[in-house]
Amino acid sequence: MPIMLPVMLVAFILIYKFTYRTIQQQQQQNIRNEFSFAHQTLNNRLSVTRGWLKNLAQNGMIVNSLVDPKGAGEYIPQLFKTLRVPGPQSGGSIKLLDFQGRVLATNNLNAALQLNDNWQTKVINGQYYETIDHNGLIMAEPIIINGLPEGTLVLLFDTATLAEFLKVSSVSSYLFVTDAHGYLLFTSPDQNYFHVGHDYNENHFADWAISKQHINMNSELMLVSAQKNNIAFQAVTDVQYAMVTFIIIAFCGIFLSISLVGRSVAAILANVSDQLRVLHTEKNLSKRIKLSTIKELAGLERSYNELAEELQDTTVSKEYIDTLFDGMPLPVFVVKPDGFIVRTNESALSLFKDTNSEIPTYFQEMILHDDLEKHQEELIKHFAYTPPNAGDTFFYLARKHNRYEMEMRLIAAKGDIKPYILSATSLKDHKNKLTGYIITATDIQDRKQQEKEIMNLAEQNTLMARAIEEIDLGVTISDGRQPHQPIIFCNQAFMDISGRKMEEILGFSCGFMQGAETDPAVIQKLSEAINNQNSIRVEILNYKKNGEAFWNELSLNPILGHDGSLKYYVGIQNDITERKRVEAMKKEFISTVSHELRTPLTSIHGSLGLINDLYDSDMPAEEKELLSIAYRNSERLKFLVDDILDTEKLEAGEMRFYPKNHDLLDIVQQSVQLNTIYGEKYGVKFVISDDIPDTRIYVDKDRIVQVFANLLSNAAKFSKELGRVDIGAQLGRCADDMVRISITDYGDGISDDFQKRIFTKFAQQDSSDVRKVQGTGLGLYITKKIVESHDGKIDFKTKIGQGTTFYIDLPCC
Amino acid sequence: MMKLLKTILTIDDDDDIRRIGALVLKKKGGFDVVSKPSGQEALDYLGSSTDNNLPDLIILDVMMPEMDGPQTLEAIRELESHSAALIPIMFMTAKCQADEVERLIDLGAAGVIPKPFDAMTLSGQVREIWEGI
């Protein structure tokens, strides 16, 4: 026993020395680790940010926005609003500048940018610029287009946000970041020595363990780590005292213990063994052993309790995972390597709800066979592998790729077949042996539907584009937002019509087709319509590239944006030179016929009329009869030519009207007077009503007299022998400012069949009475056209056997 | 005008029209008719007539070669003989739209008769205009 004392003393000294050194080493190691971690983190953060900025400077949208600042007007500010600088901070701002230094877009309007010559000179030379100091951080990346810097992306942190950006954490040491002048940019939050904004002073840390290293390529930043030495040595001193106490207690204890051990150990072991049995049989994990007597057995106690804790934790986390698994909205299957389904979650089960069918035993039974075969072909092609059966295809690929996704259709509830994305992840044990797969199934039916719709839309667009390319009307689209509205699209027909190539059209204004003889009034009309953003259709004399003139029927239609502003003009052009020529020929024909046909006809008709009138008493009856036939027919021919000419004029829009204010009664009386002789021929009397309103109508008198004359002669023709025709008028029958003139006969009425076509060309009522079928069939057609040209209306009421009334509504003055 | 309409001078380049016109006015209207195929011949005729032989009315075709209706009218109005220069003149025209009629009236015509005329009613039309002068 006395020998033990010096032995223990020596042991104590050795232990003390060893501990001291170990702790010192440990401390240094800790500081080194933390320091290098912090150093690496900051370095990474800076280079990630630089890389991010560089990528952004090459982003197509941003580059385009410098080329086409107008077009970028909408999307670039939107893009910048959503930009977030990578890293832990939220205060970094990013700005897009053009080559003159004007800010085009930013994600933070408030961040002020100090322009200084340094970075501008650098960026103008196409070089990257970076500076970090007490003013903050500036990174400036030039945006290069065709080798020239056209703009700059600038990333900014002010002093406050920079501290956030430089934030690194530590446990056993304090960390500081300073700029090149020793100005503190970041300090660990849990110390009271220094704060951001002060100068870093090394004298404070005289007896501390310090590590220092530059960060950043320009060595502008310095990372400092510091730990008090005495923290570690305090620990060593504590150990010293503990050891002395321990030795004294040990001497006393050893003797006492030895005697007790014999008895206690047996009891304790029995206790532990009992508890283990309880744990095994009852699975009661909450039970703990309590051993307080023997120190050496404390380890045993701890081991047991730790085992129990661990088992309990495992059980709890298993419950968590089960809950999570079942609660997942995504169907999940856990299968063995051969596809045997081991577990499914609620969502997977719900695929089979409302059906009698059970979940299949093997996963591959659910996959549509066709899809498997399709993938099998791919397998053979790509991997030169032929799986023994189709079901293996999917698992083969999953094994090959560790995690594999493919689109397949599953047969689920009620035999529904729906497309899914199946994702299989291999499960491996600690020996890397495959134990199964976890398969999730994402329903992509909606997505498929959308894809299909997009395809249909695309197809439609193609069709429309094709149609535009095929039609023989020239189609152009002009950009209405640019000053001269340049053409941005034209089809083949337009190139043919204008005689120009695509490159001679795009970018030019539509006016290039106008020339020397183009009517300035039409050009004026066009530019007015464009200024007012109206649609317009004109006939304009245009010129092909070779100078050949052609008539262009041009219609322009504005396309407005959602905000009502002009976006595009769509122009439709039609070469109507040929049509114009035919129209001119027709016009000439009409005037020729008008003169050349009517003049001789007048002579014939006049001569026959004179003979008939003057010499009839001297003539034998037969000759008289022949003469009267000739006269009647020449008269009919005269009417026919007149009516045909009127019809032609009306249809060609050549009939001119000269409206003036006229007294209604005057016109009615004059019309009746002109037809009195005709009426007498049929023994019919025209009776003008007493109450014709005293009103004036704004009409071409000759034409309206022609209308009344036509209706009166019709009425006379279809009246009964010795009948009468009533002429009346009333104000405001169809509208307040209209007068309705009615002409009523008491004849046979108009048959249903004829009513339908009464106003069409060459319509004549079938009649057994030859005397009455003498008109040209054009009278009512011309009448209707003339009335409509006066903004009037014509209609009739008829009753078989009782007669017919024709109404004309004309606007009053 | 109280004067009785007795003698009419018609001027038209179309022979048939001129003859029928003259015949109709003679036979149906009972007028004395002299007809000339051109403005110049009419002027010569008027120039060579004494005041007692002058027609009461001239009916003048508008569209004629060489000297047309309005030109002839001007020439007649400038004749030396005042009686000849003041003879009322009616136009005959195929273009009888309102504005054309107005233009002819403004030239100093007494009236306008549409062409082609109706042989049966021509005399009545002429008499009607004459009475309105």
Structural Rg of chain B based on CA atoms: 13
Which of A291, A343, A289 minimizes the C-alpha distance to A318?
Answer: A343
Range A659-681 burial, b when 16+ CB lie within 10 A, else e = beebebeebbebbbebbeeebee
CB pair distance less than 8 Å for A700 and B24: no
Q: What secondary structure, in 3-state letters, does A358-406 show?
A: CCCCEHHHCECHHHHHHHHHHHHHHHCCCCCCHHHHHHHHHHHHCEEEE
What is the C-alpha separation between B51 and B63, in angstroms, rounded? 28
Tell me the nearest-neighbour CA distance from A602 into chain B, angstroms.
6
On the question of pLDDT at A355 being above 60, the answer is no
- pLDDT value at residue A218: 65
- For chain A, the 3-state helix, strand and coil shares in percent, each to the nearest 5, are 50, 25, 30
Q: How far apart are CA A195 and CA A172, in angstroms?
A: 19
pLDDT-derived band at A572, boundaries 50, 70, 90: very high
Distance from CA of B11 to the nearest CA of A (A): 16
Residue A494 to chain B, least CA–CA distance (Å): 43
Q: How close does chain A come to B19, measured CA to CA in Å?
A: 9
Q: What is the mean pLDDT of residues B4-28?
A: 90
The nearest CA of chain A is from the CA of B1 a distance in Å of 24
Contact A700 B98 (CB under 8 A): yes
Say what the pLDDT of residue A474 is: 93
Contact B97 A605 (CB under 8 A): no
Tell whether ipTM is more than 0.90.
no
Instruction: Determine whether the interchain pair B20/A599 forms a contact, defined as Cβ–Cβ distance below 8 Å.
Output: no
Q: Does the beta carbon of A599 lie under 8 angstroms from any beta carbon of chain B? A: yes
List the CATH number of the domain containing B31: 3.40.50.2300
pLDDT at A619: 80
Other Cβ atoms less than 10 A from the Cβ of A712: the count is 25
- Region A350-363 average pLDDT: 71
| Closest CA relative to residue A601, chosen from A646, A644, A631 | A631
The pLDDT tens digits of the residues spanning A493-502 come to 999 999 998 8
Sign, CA dihedral A452-A453-A459-A462, equals negative
- Interval A600-652: pLDDT, tens: 888 888 888 888 877 767 788 888 888 888 888 888 888 888 888 888 888 87
When CB atoms are compared, the residue of A599, A613, A658 closest to B99 is A658
In a domain, B69, yes or no: yes
Q: Which of B12, B33, B118 to mutate to test the interface with A (most CBs of A within 10 A)?
A: B118
> Domain tally for chain B?
1
Position A809 pLDDT exceeds 50: yes
Q: Is the pLDDT of residue A91 over 50?
A: yes
Q: What is the pLDDT of residue A771?
A: 46
B51 is a domain residue: yes
DSSP B89: E
Q: Taking residues A523-543, report their average pLDDT.
A: 90
**Element spanning A167, H or E:** none
Which structure tokens are listed for A414?
Answer: 């009620």
- When pLDDT is averaged across residues A504-512 and rounded to a whole number, the result is 85
Q: Residues A115, A119, A125, A130: what is their CA dihedral angle, to the nearest 10 degrees?
A: -140
At residue A598, the pLDDT reads 80
Split at pLDDT 50, 70, 90, the class of B87 is very high
Q: B115, A702: Cβ pair inside 8 Å?
A: no
φ and ψ at residue A188, rounded to 5 degrees: -60, 140
**Interchain contact A509–B (C-beta under 8 A):** no
Q: What percent of chain A has pLDDT over 70?
A: 85
Residue A232 has pLDDT above 60, yes or no: no
Residue A364 banded pLDDT, cuts 50, 70, 90? confident
- Cβ(A551)–Cβ(A575) under 8 Å? yes
Mean pLDDT of A526-542: 89
Q: What is the CA radius of gyration of chain A?
A: 53
The C-alpha atoms of residue A590 and residue A570 are separated, in whole angstroms, by 37
Tens of pLDDT, residue by residue over A762-792, are: 777 665 554 454 677 888 999 999 999 999 9
Which residue is closest to B63 within chain A, CA to CA? A595
When pLDDT is cut at 50, 70 and 90, the band that residue B76 belongs to is very high
List of chain A residues whose C-beta atoms are within 8 Å of the C-beta of residue B118: 606
Q: Do β-strands B7-11 and B57-61 pair in parallel, antiparallel, or remain unpaired?
A: parallel
DSSP class per residue in A30-50: HHHHHHHHHHHHHHHHHHHHH
pLDDT for res A350:
79
Nearest-Cα residue of chain B relative to residue A642: B116
Mean pLDDT for all residues in chain B = 89
List CB contacts (< 8 A) between A613 and chain B: 28, 120
- Tell me how crowded residue A710 is: count the other CB atoms within 10 A of its CB: 22
Could you count the other beta carbons within 10 Å of the beta carbon of residue A581? Answer: 11
For B117, name the nearest residue in chain A, comparing CA atoms only: A602
Report which DSSP code applies to B5: P
Residue A414 has a pLDDT of 64
Express as a percent the part of chain A with pLDDT over 90: 14
Q: Provide, as residue numbers in chain A, all residues whose Cβ is less than 8 Å from the Cβ of B27.
A: 610, 614
Pick from A594, A600, A614: CB nearest B27: A614
Q: Where are the alpha helices (DSSP H) in A83-173?
A: 117-124, 159-165
Helices and strands (DSSP H and E) totals, chain B: 6, 5
Which amino acid is it at A203? Answer: N
User: A2 falls in which pLDDT band (50, 70, 90)?
Assistant: low
* Mean pLDDT value across residues A689-695: 89
- Mean per-residue pLDDT of chain A: 80
Q: Which residues of B touch A (CB under 8 A)?
A: 14, 16-17, 20, 23-24, 27-28, 94, 96-99, 115-120
Q: What is the pLDDT of residue A291?
A: 61
The model's pLDDT over A15-44, given as tens digits with 9 standing for 90+, comes to: 778 877 877 777 777 778 888 888 888 888
Q: What DSSP assignment string belongs to A404-416? A: EEEEEEEE-GGG-
Residues of A in contact with B12 (CB under 8 A): none
Residue whose tokens read 């009127």:
A646
Q: pLDDT value at position B89? A: 95
Q: d(Cα A495, Cα A475) in Å, to the nearest integer?
A: 9
Name, in order, each residue with C-beta under 8 angstroms of A593's C-beta and a sequence gap of 6 or more: A641, A645
Query: Rounded CA gap, A291 and B94, in Å?
Result: 139
- Give the nearest partner residue to A606 out of B20, B96, B97, using CB atoms: B20
First to last CA, chain B: 6
Question: Across chain A, which distance is largest between two alpha carbons, in Å?
Answer: 190
Q: At what angle do helices A621-652 and A577-614 cross, to 10 degrees?
A: 160
CB A705 within 8 A of CB A670: yes
Domain membership of residue B1 (yes or no) is no
More confident residue, B95 or A437: A437
Residues in Cβ contact with A565 at an 8 Å cutoff, skipping those fewer than 6 apart: A481
Secondary structure class of B26 (helix, strand, coil): helix
The minimum CA-CA distance between B93 and chain A, rounded to whole Å, is: 11
SS3 of B99, please?
helix
Domain of B124, in residue numbers? 7-132
| Minimum-distance CB partner of B116 among A602, A660, A700 | A602
Rank A454-463, A647-656, B82-91 by mean pLDDT and report only the highest: B82-91
User: CA B77: distance to chain centroid?
Assistant: 13
B74: in domain: yes
* Domain-embedded: residue B2: no
Give the residue from chain A lying closest to B18, CA to CA: A603
- Asked if B20 and A601 come within 8 Å (Cβ–Cβ), the reply is no
Interface of A with B in 695-724 (CB under 8 A): 700-702
CB atoms < 10 A from the CB of A301, how many?
19
Grade residue A287 by pLDDT with cuts at 50, 70 and 90: low
